[in-house]
Amino acid sequence: MKAKVQRAIDRIRPNLQADGGDVQLLEVTDDGLVKVRLLGACHGCPMAQMTLKNGIERYLKKEVPEVREVVSA
């Protein structure tokens, strides 16, 4: 599952980079928890949590149905 999640992240990465941010995949657990680190402009941005939940998590759940939740570590 980690490879599928990484491929999906690689597809959305250009959208984050266009705004000066990025995302790094840290871990995918067996129960579908995905841990990521927001980088660049995303790190510390007031909208980071919304980007994480409404953008990254929503996209990953659509592309990889085994994903249960995405959290920032």
pLDDT at 29: 97
Give residue 46's pLDDT: 87
Task: Give how far Cα 11 sits from Cα of 4, 31, 45, 57, Å.
Answer: 11, 23, 22, 13
For the record, the structure tokens of 58 come out as 């929503």
Predicted confidence at residue 44, as pLDDT, reads 80
Hey, what domains does the chain have and what are their CATH numbers? Answer: 2-72 (3.30.300.130)
Query: What's the average pLDDT block by block, 10 residues per block, for the chain (73 residues)?
Result: 97 93 96 96 86 94 97 92
Question: Which pTM does this prediction carry?
Answer: 0.91
pLDDT of residue 4: 97
Return the pLDDT at 31: 97
CA 1/CA 30 separation, integer angstroms: 8
Which residues face 72 on adjacent strands? 36
- Please tell me the predicted confidence (pLDDT) of residue 53: 92
